[in-house]
Amino acid sequence: MLWIKSLHVIFVVAWFAGLFYLPRLFVYHAQSEDETSNARFKVMERKLYRGIMTPSMVLTIVFGVWLLVGWEFHGAWLQAKMVLVAILVVYHFWLGRILKDFERDDNRRTHVFYRWVNEIPLLILAATVVLVIVKPF
């Protein structure tokens, strides 16, 4: 079971790295003014989202469910954690929708908006860590 937990941690870290970095790329993309930069950001964002983030998210969920079944965790803290993971999945797909807007050159938001978007996973990560360590309920 330890190898499952190790793989799970690796994929969680990879997924969160993408959740933190993609909005940062959106910040820079929203500030770009030339076609070369625009094209470069499109490639970087697409490869990050489709090549790293989405597979990492899927594997995080697969190994998380495997751990859940194998170790029989229980408690309201776990249900709250699963709600936070569900919110992250929705956030992930929302970033994918924003990515499509950039791909179509249809972005209507400023770099300031994406700076705020970049803080969302930090808040969810902090709440998740508190739930796992403290197990308040």
As a whole number, mean pLDDT of residues 80-100 equals 96
pLDDT tens digits along 24-82: 999 999 999 999 999 999 999 999 999 999 999 999 999 999 888 877 667 788 889 89
> Does residue 129 fall inside a structural domain?
no
pLDDT at 43: 98
> Does residue 130 fall inside a structural domain?
no
Of all residues in the chain, the percent with pLDDT exceeding 70 is 98
> What are the tokens at 86?
């569900």
> Does residue 84 fall inside a structural domain?
no
Amino acid identity, residue 133?
I
How many structural domains compose the chain?
A: 1
CA 30 from chain centre, in angstroms, equals 20
87 and 122 in contact (C-beta within 8 Å)? Answer: no
Rounded CA gap, 4 and 62, in Å? Answer: 10
Burial of 81 (0-12, 13-18, 19+ CB in 10 A): buried
> Does residue 96 fall inside a structural domain?
yes
pLDDT at 68: 84
At which residue do the structure tokens 């705020």 appear?
116
Domain that holds residue 95: 2-73+89-118
> Does residue 135 fall inside a structural domain?
no
Neighbours of 72 (CB within 10 A): 7
Mean of all residue pLDDT scores within the chain: 93
Rounded CA gap, 10 and 5, in Å? Answer: 9
Residues in the chain, total: 137
Split at pLDDT 50, 70, 90, the class of 121 is very high
> Does residue 110 fall inside a structural domain?
yes
> Does residue 32 fall inside a structural domain?
yes
pLDDT at 62: 94
> Does residue 132 fall inside a structural domain?
no
